[in-house]
Amino acid sequence: MVYPKYVLVNKTGVDVSCGGPELSQEVAKHSSVYLSGKFEKVRFRVDGYTWSQDMDLKTIGVSGELTLSIEPGKAGLRKATASVPYKFAPEKLQLGVKIQTCSAPYQQCTKIEIVPRFVVVNQLNFPIVLRQTGSEKLQVFRPHTEVEEEKKETVDLSWVFEKN
């Protein structure tokens, strides 16, 4: 059988670019792509943000975070785009990353998952409302027991970091 060397899974609500010396690949939100090549390090980027640090793909079992800084001159309010649906651009965008071997019979492949860094689950008996600093959009989280399995929605959050 022929296997791809890597499977890149984007579980976030934003489009992610993956790049390196021998690679340039766009991954749409909530989708996956197969990657092949002799590269062992990649960087990630979201529209409007700088490239992340190089990530070594040989380090199987790693779970960590990607911190992307906003491009110079793009801080503050801006027009929401398809890839970044936020009207307020946070100074830093944090995404989680997991590198692991695929399960049998695909154990020759390495799976790279890009996931939301923050997940909110409401286990209270009443709704809660969250608003990010500088944003006018309110997110209402209904109690977890009220949400039917087939109607569950995920809300990707990127938090604004205070300057020290």
pLDDT digits (tens, 9 = 90+) for 16-32: 999 876 778 899 989 99
Residue 151 is predicted with a pLDDT of 46
Going from N- to C-terminal start, the domains of the chain cover 6-117
77 pLDDT above the threshold of 80: no
How large is the average pLDDT for residues 92-97?
Answer: 87
State residue 155's pLDDT score.
Answer: 54
How far is residue 42 from each of residues 38, 87, 96, measured CA to CA in Å?
11, 28, 15
Q: Is the pLDDT of residue 90 over 90?
A: no
Helix (H) or strand (E) holding 33: strand 31-35
User: Per-residue pLDDT tens for 98-142?
Assistant: 999 988 888 889 999 999 887 777 888 888 888 777 667 787 888
pLDDT score, position 97: 92
